[in-house]
Structure 1
Amino acid sequence: MMLFGYRLPMMSSLLVWCLIWEIVGQLDLMFLIPPLSSVVVAMVELIQTKQFLAATAVTLRSFVTGMVLAIVAGVSLGVLMGRFRAADRLLGMWVNLFVSAPLSALVPILMILFGLGDATIVATVFLFAVWIIALDTQAGVKHISGSLVEMSRSFGASQRDVYLKILLWAALPEILAGIRLGMIRGVKGVVIGQLLVSVIGYGELFELYSRNFLMERFWALTILVFAFAILVSELVGAIEKRVEYYAGVRQ
């Protein structure tokens, strides 16, 4: 970022927005936006409460379980669609439909199927994440040269070896890209699911704080959720950079 010929640090824009937030909050223009300094103080207090720690444990358990299921199912589905034209024709339309569909509208249906508990949140995370993982995996598999598979078979590789040692490794950059996007969508799914269920995890806290106009804690929890989404995205992105090698040698 350049300003008057000077290069500013990448965090400069964030600091500007923080300053604007603080000024708007101090002017007390609307009760929904408290000063950022008050939000930070509330955040420090919030992360020390037993209620927040319990909600975090519930949310993380649902998120991790849903993401593991989404990764396994999404990668398997993507490999299937990438390798077999019939599978692509049969499933591709539905995968693209669910990627673009407003999935939050399906959460009430999941509540009827799985009840008002962890199972609904796990299913929501899975539903939000699995489709983008499948699409990116399919793209990675389709980019693999057929000569790699032919070479592996000429050296006596079994069908299992072709999938586990050739296809998955060669498509790894796209698989990781799909997992990164899936995790971001999974964070969205776990929060939306808990908000609509409103009885467990962060959804219960969001409902409590908004209903009682505890806006400092509401915004503190929102910032923590955003920070978690950015953190998981950056962690997977760092792994992506370490496996870029495979994108160049799979031809």
Structure 2
Amino acid sequence: MTLFGIRIPMMMSLVMWAVLWEVVGRLDLIFLIPPMTSVISAGMDLVQTGSWQNATLITLRSFVFGMALAIVVGVPLGVLMGRVRIIDNIFGLWVNMFVSAPLSALVPILMILFGLGETTVFVTVFLFAVWIIVLDARAGVMQVPPSLIEMGRCYGASRWTIFSKIVLFSALPEILAGIRIGLIRGVKGVVIGQILVSIIGYGELFELYSRSFDMERFWALTLILFAAAMLLSAAVELFEKRIEYYAGAR
């Protein structure tokens, strides 16, 4: 970002919002917004408590299992949809429907099907993440130029070699982009699942802090979740940049 010919780092926007938050909190305009310094101090105390550590383990377990299943199912299904027309015709409507549907409305149904335990949260994470992974993997495979596949055939490459060395590598940027967006949606899914259904993990802490009006810890926990989502997204994005030349070659 450039302002009056001076390049300003993107992190400055976060600093500006933090200063504004601190000012609003110090003026005591809204009791729901405490000063940023109080939130940071509460966050440092929070991460040392056993309740936060136990909640983090529960939340991470549901998130990791849900995301792992979403990737294992989403990437192969998206690749198959991009390569086989009949599979695309069968699943295309359902994938697009679930991507655009308000998945939060399905959480009560999941509660009836799977009960009030971690299984419901695990399935919620999966449903929030898998559809965008499928769509991006499908888009990446469909954008592979036929000339690359034809070139592989001319050099005597087998079908498996063409699929693994040409199709998958060419579609890798879109596949990673889908996983990156899926990770962010998965964080949303694990929080919604824990708050609306199971009241475990971070959902239990959010419920506790909101009922007791402990807004310092409430906002501290929110910022921790935002930071985790941003770090996950940045890690995948960094890996994306390392394989950008595949898209360029394509």
Tell me which amino acid in the other structure corresponds to 2:175: I
Paired position in structure 2 for 1:130: 130
Determine the C-alpha separation between the residues in 2 that align with 1:116 and 1:198: 5
Aligned AA (2:208): L
* Matched position secondary structure for 2:186: helix
Change (3 A) 1:2 1:166: closer
Measured in 2, the distance between the counterparts of 1:10 and 1:119 equals 39
| Cα displacement (A) at 1:30 | 2.0
8 Å Cα contact 1:32-1:215 kept in structure 2: yes
Q: Which amino acid aligns with 2:34?
A: P
- Deviation per CA, 1:32-65: give whole Å up to 9, x if none: 1111111011000000001101111111111111
Matches of 1:9 and 1:169, distance apart in 2 = 33
Partner of 2:201: 201
- Deviates further, 136-145 or 8-17: 8-17
Q: CA RMSD in A?
A: 1.6
- Render the CA deviation track for 1:216-245: whole Å, top value 9, x for unaligned: 000000000000010000000000000011
- Whether contact under 8 Å (2:118, 2:198) holds in the other structure is no
Is residue 2:117 matched to residue 1:117? yes
SS in 2 for 1:16: helix
Counterpart residue identity of residue 122, structure 1: F
1:7 aligns with 2:7: yes
Secondary structure at the counterpart of residue 32 of structure 1? coil
1:98 — aligned with what?
98
| Bigger shift: residues 143-152 or 117-126 | 143-152
8 Å contact kept, 1:198–1:207? no
Task: Report if the CA contact (8 A) 1:104-1:192 is conserved.
Answer: yes
| Aligned counterpart, 1:223 | 223
Matches of residues 133-144 of structure 1 in structure 2 within 5 Å?
133-144=133-144
Amino acid at match of 2:203: G
Letter paired with 1:87: I
Cα separation, 1, equivalents of 2:190 and 2:160: 34
Distance 1:82 1:37 in 2: 50
**TM alignment of 1:1-251, pairs within 5 A:** 1-153=1-153, 157-250=157-250
After the TM superposition, which of the residue ranges 91-100 and 180-189 deviates more from structure 2?
91-100
Shift of 1:126: 0.6
Structure 1: which amino acid aligns with 2:201? G
Unaligned runs of 5+ in 1: none
| Secondary structure of the structure 2 residue equivalent to 1:171 | helix
Letter in 2 for 1:119: T
**CA separation in 1, counterparts of 2:62 and 2:206?**
17
Which whole-Å deviations, capped at 9, do the CAs of 1:58-95 have from their partners, x for residues lacking one? Answer: 11111111111101111111111101222222211111
Gaps of 5+ in 2: none
TM-score normalised by length of structure 2: 0.94
Which stretch of structure 1 is more off in the superposition, 123-132 or 4-13?
4-13
Identity %: 66
Distance 1:133 1:69 in 2: 11
> What SS does the corresponding residue of 2:33 show, helix, strand or coil?
coil
Is 2:117–2:198's contact at 8 Å kept on the other side of the alignment? no
Question: TM-score with structure 1 length normalisation?
Answer: 0.94
Q: Helix, strand or coil for the counterpart of 1:34?
A: coil
Supply the distance in 1 between the matched residues of 2:9 and 2:144 (Cα, whole angstroms): 39
